A and B are shown apart, each in its own frame.
Chain A
Amino acid sequence: MNTTSIFIQTLIGGIGIGSLYALIALGYSMVYRSMGLVNFAHGSIYMVGTYLGIIWYTGLVLGLHVSYPVAFIIGVLLNGLLGVLLERIFRPLAKLDLMFMLLGTIGLGFVLDNLAVIIFGAEGFAVRSPLPNAPINIAGILVLPQMLLLICVSALLMVGLQVFLSTTKTGKAMRASAMDHDIASAMGIPVNRMNALTLAIGSGLAAAAGILAAPIVYVNPAMGAAVGLKGFAAAILGGLGSIPGAIAGGLVFGVVEAISAGFISSSYTKGIAFFVVVIVLMLKPSGIVGETVIEKV
């Protein structure tokens, strides 16, 4: 096997894990731009979403074994519902200082993590992939089928989100209300409902990420911490509040992580990836994409 194909293989692995980070980063960025709130419970919401889908697939509920796609849809919808509830909790927080948001959302994260421990136990479990476990060989490049599924479904979700936000009336209203709460509500847009929808989408995407990654990672109540942090770093890297930025940030973070693990050392992966974030932010504080600033005439 030559270096090029090893590199491409590593790159695909990076894009796969990067898609996961991108889906998480989208949750941070969408909620930030619509409510001005940094949701530090998002890692835990990702963990909860993973459980809410995977439990139906692995027979943890009444011994039910629904098919993987059905479990995926159930998990995404249930976590979306959780997002709607979160809007009620976050509504008063969003009006307060950063310190209160920080404490409030981190606290909520603890509550979710510990609820998961109480309900499911601290022990995690491995999830069997719905696809064959053996890597498939595409022109000399070995890829896990589940990784391909993760990349393709994530890409579909991201394209779908963009289409939704830019073409539907509700999507445009969500963008309008993120730009100017007061004026949006004076135009008749129910801003709280738009925020709830934003949290629902962010949480749904997090569940999608978790359920897609479940057969690759180890499912346990503490799984949200590292992914939550990396997703947040990815959102900042791309430019917090920017949707294309969250996607770019997630992919860059994943690829840097995979390349440093593959070609430098797997013990320094995190250090290198966060170092890259710091360097990029020093050079461009608004992140890769940053906020579109329009010159006012």
Chain B
Amino acid sequence: MITVENLHTYYGNIHAVKGISFEVRKGEITTLIGANGAGKSTIIKTIAGLLHPKVGTILYDGAPIQKLAADQIVRLGIGYVPEGRRVFPVLTVDENLEMGAYHRSDKSGIIEDRDRMYEIFPRLKERSKQLAGSLSGGEQQMLAIARALMSKPQLLLMDEPSLGLAPILVKQVFEIITELNKNGMTILLSEQNARSSLKIAQHGIVMETGKIRFADTAKALQENSIIQQAYLGVG
């Protein structure tokens, strides 16, 4: 679905992604794991169109998208759940969802999807008229996911969705991701929580300082002794 070839992206002056190639297959969860600063977020932002690569191509269903702006990328069916949630704080929950569906014009479809989001995330329904900035971290994460889903994506980019959440909420977020994938959503998931993300993913990419260290099936990576020691905390 997404083919990244020889991607080099600079974050300011920092050469954050140094010649990376990988593939995200339709219907799968592919997870990018690695420490802080490994370049995971930069890759996600480059695919979302918020950063543009200096070198390399990103093919989406065969067509190059690396030069498109973020507001065009979302129209192609690529949804984005940003790191740190970044909901619109002074808009209500309802309005945040409405903004997620900005490029759509099918009014009844938008309302249907919003109601579906409220079924999946009942907490958001209770707070639909509240300002998003007043929600708890977990609720904001749910809102960030729901907002991205409102654009009707084929592919969901998720940047560190478990960051800063209490363990019980982390579990819930991973359950939601699994559920979305079961219903056919292709997901590229960037995570520091390697253990949980490899458990739900089909493929994994391990990054270190802007380069790919390992890329394999999630199962193989879980059994790799180097990864077990460095990322999964297995002695």
Contact = CB atoms under 8 A, between A and B. Distances in A.
B103 interface: yes
Interface in B98-112: 98-100, 102-103
A82 to B, nearest CB: 25
Interface string B60-103: 00000000011101110000101000101111000100111011
A2 interface: no
A175 B71 contact: no
Given A173-B99, A295-B134, A296-B133, A186 B90 contact: no
Contacts of A294: 89-90, 131, 133-134
B50 A179 contact: no
A187 B86 CA distance: 12
Interface in A14-58: none
Given A183-B86, A187-B147, A172 B71 contact: no
A77 B152 CA distance: 37
Contacts, number: 75
B90 A187 contact: no
A172 B151 contact: no
A89 B102 CA distance: 27
B91 A187 contact: no
Nearest to A190: B71
Contacts of B134: 294-295, 297
Main SS of chain A's interface residues?
helix
B89 A179 contact: yes
Nearest to A295: B134
Contact of B102 (A175, A180, A182, A189): A189
A185 interface: yes
Contacts of A176: 88, 91, 95, 99
A297 B90 contact: no
B49 interface: yes
Interface in B163-221: none
A141 to B, nearest CB: 40
B70 A182 contact: yes
B89 A183 contact: no
A292 B89 CA distance: 10
B16 to A, nearest CB: 16
A196 interface: no
B27 interface: no
15 contacts: A172-B91, A172-B98, A172-B99, A175-B91, A179-B88, A179-B91, A184-B99, A185-B50, A186-B50, A186-B73, A186-B74, A186-B80, A187-B102, A294-B131, A296-B133
Interface of A: 169, 172-173, 175-176, 179-180, 182-191, 292, 294-297
Given A169-B98, A294-B89, 11 more contacts: A173-B102, A176-B91, A182-B82, A186-B70, A186-B74, A186-B82, A188-B75, A188-B102, A292-B90, A294-B90, A295-B134
Interface of B: 48-50, 69-71, 73-75, 80, 82, 86, 88-91, 95, 98-100, 102-103, 131, 133-137, 147, 151
